[in-house]
Amino acid sequence: MNYRNHFVTILGTIQGEQPGFINKVPYNFLEVNMQGIQVWHLREVVNTTYNLWDYGYGAFWPEPGWGAPYYTNAVSQVTPELVK
């Protein structure tokens, strides 16, 4: 399985090191007696805000009428979070 560009949590016991190469550069890889694995997915949550004290547009007010500057669904923040 390919875990590239994912966050991974491994549960196990470290057994030692195994010599190897990454792009022709020597590297010591850990040997792990793996008992469990959790692959996490990155999700972006978009938080929107608007003014709760405004009624919005009235029935007889043309756009942009009364209340227009206060009633907006503007994106205020994008928050990354890890989920199972």
Each residue of 25-78: pLDDT tens digit? 999 999 999 999 998 888 887 766 655 555 555 556 555 555 445 545 555 677
pLDDT of residue 28: 97
pLDDT of residue 81: 79
pLDDT of residue 59: 57
DSSP 57: -
**pTM: predicted TM-score of the whole model, two decimal places:** 0.47
pLDDT of residue 3: 79
pLDDT of residue 52: 55
Cα–Cα nearest to 69, from 50, 45, 47:
50
